[in-house]
Amino acid sequence: MTTIARDDQCRLLVRCPDGPGIVAAISTFLHENGANIIESNQYTTDAKTGTFFMRIEFHITNLVEKRSTMEADFANLAAAKSMDYRFFYLNELKRTAIFVSKETHCLMELLWEWQGGNLKTDIACVVSNHEDARDVVESLGLPFHYIPANKDIRLQVEAEQIKLMEAYDIDLIVLARYMQILTPNFVERFEDRIINIHHSFLPAFIGARPYERAYDRGVKLVGATAHYVTNDLDEGPIIEQDIERVDHRDQVADMKKIGQKAERRVLARAVKWHLEDRIIVKQNKTIVFG
Amino acid sequence: MTTIARDDQCRLLVRCPDGPGIVAAISTFLHENGANIIESNQYTTDAKTGTFFMRIEFHITNLVEKRSTMEADFANLAAAKSMDYRFFYLNELKRTAIFVSKETHCLMELLWEWQGGNLKTDIACVVSNHEDARDVVESLGLPFHYIPANKDIRLQVEAEQIKLMEAYDIDLIVLARYMQILTPNFVERFEDRIINIHHSFLPAFIGARPYERAYDRGVKLVGATAHYVTNDLDEGPIIEQDIERVDHRDQVADMKKIGQKAERRVLARAVKWHLEDRIIVKQNKTIVFG
Amino acid sequence: MTTIARDDQCRLLVRCPDGPGIVAAISTFLHENGANIIESNQYTTDAKTGTFFMRIEFHITNLVEKRSTMEADFANLAAAKSMDYRFFYLNELKRTAIFVSKETHCLMELLWEWQGGNLKTDIACVVSNHEDARDVVESLGLPFHYIPANKDIRLQVEAEQIKLMEAYDIDLIVLARYMQILTPNFVERFEDRIINIHHSFLPAFIGARPYERAYDRGVKLVGATAHYVTNDLDEGPIIEQDIERVDHRDQVADMKKIGQKAERRVLARAVKWHLEDRIIVKQNKTIVFG
Amino acid sequence: MTTIARDDQCRLLVRCPDGPGIVAAISTFLHENGANIIESNQYTTDAKTGTFFMRIEFHITNLVEKRSTMEADFANLAAAKSMDYRFFYLNELKRTAIFVSKETHCLMELLWEWQGGNLKTDIACVVSNHEDARDVVESLGLPFHYIPANKDIRLQVEAEQIKLMEAYDIDLIVLARYMQILTPNFVERFEDRIINIHHSFLPAFIGARPYERAYDRGVKLVGATAHYVTNDLDEGPIIEQDIERVDHRDQVADMKKIGQKAERRVLARAVKWHLEDRIIVKQNKTIVFG
């Protein structure tokens, strides 16, 4: 591809009742606004009474100037088709906060992928209830906030965290092995914007100590699941899952190390897809436009 | 999905110079013809001077009656945009011939997937230069044609095969471990319609005896490659590849058995994608709309 | 490898309290009996107070003649070391019964691998509560027994099945998608000799309708688990597991088809390992010597 | 496992002509020396005239004191059986030098796995012909040596590198995407002790620019190969290989990023196995005891 300026690039996500002519209407609108489509994906839940989902990535020369007019015009089309929609401009990087506890492998993977240019985001800060990650975070020039946490001071901790999220104007929170449960108050403020990595292939081993329980059950695969956080623990919409093989020689400690490879990979993919606006939450599931 | 009659379903494949408004034009055309889009994929080789490729699967109530009018109307649009295109109607199953030699594992996989409803095609006949596959083929009520072959009688053999392909009105030839080389005359008659399975991850081990050479090299993976046949041996556009692990204990015979698993899987996927019109050949490569 | 007569080949499986000199004692014994070791695996659960497991595959010229002497001599060594052990002679093929219901994909995979020489066993018979598999089974010259079954006539059905197993002198029963629950009476007669394929990555989706529940949960992987049958449904020792990817477009029917690939693969591997005496059951887990 | 002191642990690697009683002789020897076997692997190339390979990991209480006696005694046994052998003591960590050029992803993976305790080695130094890796290396307190290199000054560069390797008493050199060719003089000094990562699934795309050539060929998999360095470029004994999927949308730059995941994984595994003395080179192949 010839390089297109990020300033000129945009993604449009649409959800609406299915019906005739939606793709034609959207693509005609974009054409009339001078857009060139880069990538387009759609999905309909049911051919007759279903819901239509679309993601279009496009570019328009001098988009920055044309943007407000385009949005105003699109509002009319959207109203006519009962669309729920949003434009995402590529020159507006999402602002990400990473929460981590003692184990830093997932944090490290995210920082690495970010440094390598695979995660297009501003990492605004890292928040932890332990000091373990401070050095690596600060060595990259990123703010590190140590906020001790336990279940007795949960509300007070979350109040401080929410203040921080607001101060940094955070779009996405990634729980990169953050071992504290969040309250509904916190979760609801960031609906579909908190990604957690759980260290099992859900719904197996929901809750605490999944590797210990995997060991006890004698499984031959360990896994990891990235999902949006909801108020039902480990029940949120699954974004991505993957597994690694283990065998009878692997003790719990081995399974943890092996599983970390899956955790790293799965979380990095899920965050990348979120940042690229490829994920649409639909009840307790996700549509991921690959 | 609610079930849609196969009679009403169609796929449109388009290739044309990239330019503004193509998606809008096609989707508007389809909308005006009463189409409901089921699935849509597009790809552009380059944002400025490139080629645009599209696959749209749609359905239209009473398509059988409306089909000729639709095609006539689309011809105008296609001419205006310099489109190379084709409509594929789902009620017109492709007619497939499977060529096989002594090893029947790939043939068996195809027959199996076909019986299970995963390969929507008419298997018109099986052609072989050996008798090994006769029983299983005939037990399924399929015609089996034994045509002995060797390099000295190649032209005569191919003349007979071509006559057979014409008699059966064949759309697709699958070389499911058929161990004879085809002449340019044969290949050109079925351009982009002959799929071969090669028993290595090309371009490694082009040509004869790939497992023997893989063994000699001490590789830790063996693979398989499905590709369209061209006149350059094992150099045709690759459709799909996959691998299996081997280790130092595996002799050549073991590697063959292990590799057969990859061969079966890879060929079945490639044939499925071809039958679903998901593959576009672009010079020596394929675009596969997943 | 140069070919060794099956008559001369043997496998010895040993389980005993760990202690010094066990490997030396066994290998010295085998050496003194003229054995040449082909493959050897061992595993100890704990370095101090644990259990020692070993599998040795060896060959002895004219083993058939020497066999009874060897066994008598080994009994002394075994007594001294408190060994639980068994010799498996490769010229005594295990006799296998395959149980199946309506879905034949797992049965087909086993028959296929057996025909290809990958499963060294006598397939003594196929038992089914449906007629679907009869044709394919009988076309291979194998006995097919149709025994209708439902929960109301379970005891009577199992009485008939047990009689059949005894008549055929069955060593291994493979439940290749046999959709009836077995009673404790049946299970206990064939302890560690009934292999079941469950269509999920256990312990996720224990019990009925796993694909439906996987669909409802929105997982991104479906899996399969082969395990020995115990009286706790789907809780027996896991032998092997594997997964396939699915995405948001896959309905329950798609997930079933995709999952079948994992089911076939996983069951075939588990049966192969059992036939090669590679599996040792240790409480609710398996040791698999690869 | 209960923890065993590293001081008490040892690995014995043996290669000798196959013959009766070798395992008995070795295991009896170890037993008489008070050893408890932790893990044991063997492999024979051919049952009659072949070569026997063995790796035994064991522990002996107070091994440090008993070591010289044990070695002296074993020398007799080894002479009798024409053994080529070596004892590796776990309290003597191998000293590793990592060579890298501009791309640091493989270096980073090794440092990471080393920090996580998965690579038991002393990383003695990092050598590079570029400055890119200096900061990360020095932030971990490891020596970083910048030695500019190009083909015109190769001998002088290697003289400096060899001096450095000697000063650090290096056991293993890892070429973690070091883009300079080594001369035979250098290679011979470190026979079977230089591990390189090549960015293709060898023997496909030997030599320069493998991703560019993979792109041109239209492959659907990219891969990576870790191998010992010999004087034949990219022809040394393969230790490990793995692949990642790509599709028609991936340009060369994308394929590089995707392939890096395989490079990281493959190199880390190969180095781990080398450090654990699991690899035996046998002509142009490797035996890897898993």
Residues of C in contact with D1 (CB under 8 A): 46-47
8 Å CB contact of A223 and C218: no
To the question of domain D6-89 being in CATH 3.10.180.10, the answer is no
Window 259-278 of A: residues touching D by CB (8 A cutoff) are 260, 265
| Residue range D7-25: mean pLDDT, rounded | 95
Tell me what pLDDT residue C1 has. Answer: 45
User: Is the Cβ of B23 closer than 8 Å to some Cβ of chain A?
Assistant: yes
What is the assigned CATH class of domain B95-288? Answer: alpha beta
8 Å CB contact of A288 and C247: yes
Q: Which helix (H) or strand (E) holds B120?
A: none
**Does residue C2 have a pLDDT over 80?**
no
Tokens for B110? 């195809």
Task: Nearest by CB to C251, from B1, B105, B257: name it.
Answer: B1
8 Å CB contact of C20 and D36: yes
8 Å CB contact of A31 and B44: no
Strand B95-100, strand B84-89: pairing: unpaired
Q: Which helix (H) or strand (E) holds B27?
A: helix B22-32
Contact predicate A225/A201, CB 8 Å? yes
Tokens for B229? 């046949």
Indicate the residue type of B91.
N
Could you give the CA distance from residue C124 to residue D14 in angstroms, rounded to a whole number?
44
Residues of B in contact with A58 (CB under 8 A): none
Give the pLDDT band of residue C4 (cuts 50, 70, 90).
confident
Task: Nearest by CB to D108, from A1, A112, A251: name it.
Answer: A112
8 Å CB contact of A221 and C204: no
What number of C-beta contacts closer than 8 Å exist between C and D? 62
User: Is the Cβ of B5 closer than 8 Å to some Cβ of chain A?
Assistant: no
| Residue range A189-218: mean pLDDT, rounded | 96
pLDDT, one tens digit per residue, over B148-164 is: 999 999 999 999 999 99
The residue ranges of every structural domain in chain A are 6-89, 95-288
Q: CB-side exposure of D87: number of CA atoms within 13 Å?
A: 21
The partner residues of D99 in beta bridges, in order of sequence, read D127, D175
User: Is the Cβ of D21 closer than 8 Å to some Cβ of chain C?
Assistant: yes
Tell me what pLDDT residue B49 has. Answer: 74
Cα dihedral D180/D185/D189/D193 (nearest 10): 30
Closest by Cα among A252, A213, A218 to C282? A218
Show which subunits contact C, needing at least 3 CB pairs below 8 angstroms: A, B, D
Closest by Cα among A254, A235, A234, A236 to A244? A254
**Does residue A1 have a pLDDT over 60?**
no
Closest by Cα among D241, D252, D131 to D196? D241
User: Is the Cβ of D223 closer than 8 Å to some Cβ of chain B?
Assistant: yes
Q: From the candidates C8, C171, C234, C250, which is the catalytic residue?
A: C234
How far does the CA of residue B31 sit from the closest CA of chain A (Å)? 5
Q: From the candidates B8, B234, B250, B277, which is the catalytic residue?
A: B234
| Residue range C66-85: mean pLDDT, rounded | 96
Residues of D in contact with B249 (CB under 8 A): 43
Show which subunits contact D, needing at least 3 CB pairs below 8 angstroms: A, B, C
Mutating which of B39, B57, B108 best tests the C interface, going by the most C Cβ atoms within 10 A? B108
Closest by Cα among D86, D81, D84 to D22? D81
pLDDT, one tens digit per residue, over B19-78 is: 889 999 999 999 999 999 999 999 998 756 789 999 999 999 999 999 999 999 999 999
User: Is the Cβ of B114 closer than 8 Å to some Cβ of chain D?
Assistant: no
What are the residues whose beta carbons fall under 8 Å from the beta carbon of B156, sequence distance 6 or more? Answer: none
Window 178-207 of C: residues touching A by CB (8 A cutoff) are 201-205
Closest by Cα among B181, B228, B184 to B202? B228
Could you give the CA distance from residue C51 to residue A198 in angstroms, rounded to a whole number?
34
D99: burial class by Cβ within 10 Å (0-12, 13-18, 19+)? Answer: buried
How far does the CA of residue D8 sit from the closest CA of chain B (Å)? 30
Taking CA–CA distances from D237, the nearest residue in chain B reads B218
Q: From the candidates D234, D242, D250, D277, which is the catalytic residue?
A: D234
Give the pLDDT band of residue D1 (cuts 50, 70, 90).
very low
Tell me what pLDDT residue B69 has. Answer: 96
Could you give the CA distance from residue C37 to residue C60 in angstroms, rounded to a whole number?
9
Q: What is the DSSP string of A30-85?
A: HHHTT-EEEEEEEEES-TTT-EEEEEEEEE-TTHHHHHHHHHHHHHHHHHHTT-EE
Let me know how long chain A is: 290
8 Å CB contact of A238 and C218: yes
Closest by Cα among A197, A203, A206, A214 to A255? A214
Taking CA–CA distances from C139, the nearest residue in chain B reads B139
User: How far apart, in Å, do the first and last CA atoms of chain D sit?
Assistant: 19
Residues of A in contact with B21 (CB under 8 A): 31
What ipTM score was computed for the predicted complex, to two decimals? 0.94
Closest by Cα among A249, B279, A111 to C285? A249
The partner residues of B173 in beta bridges, in order of sequence, read B97, B194
8 Å CB contact of D112 and A116: no
User: Is the Cβ of A147 closer than 8 Å to some Cβ of chain D?
Assistant: no
User: Is the Cβ of A118 closer than 8 Å to some Cβ of chain D?
Assistant: yes
Contact predicate B239/B274, CB 8 Å? yes
Could you give the CA distance from residue C168 to residue C155 in angstroms, rounded to a whole number?
20
Mutating which of B52, B234, B248 best tests the D interface, going by the most D Cβ atoms within 10 A? B248
**Does residue D286 have a pLDDT over 70?**
yes
Closest by Cα among B206, B147, B149, B227 to B182? B149
User: Is the Cβ of D218 closer than 8 Å to some Cβ of chain C?
Assistant: no
pLDDT, one tens digit per residue, over A98-118 is: 999 999 999 999 998 998 889
What are the residues whose beta carbons fall under 8 Å from the beta carbon of D205, sequence distance 6 or more? Answer: B203, D213, D214
Tell me what pLDDT residue C47 has. Answer: 56
| Distances in whole angstroms, Cα of residue C49 to Cα of each of A258, C46, C58, C131 | 27, 6, 29, 53
Give the count of beta carbons closer than 10 Å to the beta carbon of residue D254: 16
Residues of A in contact with B44 (CB under 8 A): 37-38
Strand A51-59, strand A36-44: pairing: antiparallel
| Residue range B139-144: mean pLDDT, rounded | 95
Q: CB-side exposure of C248: number of CA atoms within 13 Å?
A: 24
Give the pLDDT band of residue B1 (cuts 50, 70, 90).
very low
What is the Cα gyration radius of chain B?
21
Residues of A in contact with B58 (CB under 8 A): none
Q: What is the DSSP string of C211-263?
A: HHHHHHHT-SEEEEEEEE--SSTT-SPEEEEEEEE--TT--HHHHHHHHHHHH
Residues of C in contact with D30 (CB under 8 A): 24
**Does residue B218 have a pLDDT over 60?**
yes
Give the percent of chain D with pLDDT over 70: 98
8 Å CB contact of C24 and D47: no
User: Is the Cβ of A251 closer than 8 Å to some Cβ of chain D?
Assistant: yes
Q: What is the 3-state secondary structure (H, E, C) of chain D?
A: CCCCCHHHEEEEEEEEECCCCHHHHHHHHHHHCCCEEEEEEEEECCCCCCEEEEEEEEECCCHHHHHHHHHHHHHHHHHHCCCEEEEEECCCCCEEEEEECCCCHHHHHHHHHHHCCCCCCEEEEEEECCCCCHHHHHHCCCCEEECCCCHHHHHHHHHHHHHHHHHHCCCEEEECCCCCCCCHHHHHHCCCCEEEEECCCCCCCCCCCHHHHHHHHCCCEEEEEEEECCCCCCCCCEEEEEEEECCCCCCHHHHHHHHHHHHHHHHHHHHHHHHCCCEEEECCEEEECC
* Global confidence as pTM: 0.94
Name the average pLDDT for chain B.
95
8 Å CB contact of D257 and A118: yes
What number of C-beta contacts closer than 8 Å exist between A and C? 79
8 Å CB contact of B47 and A36: yes
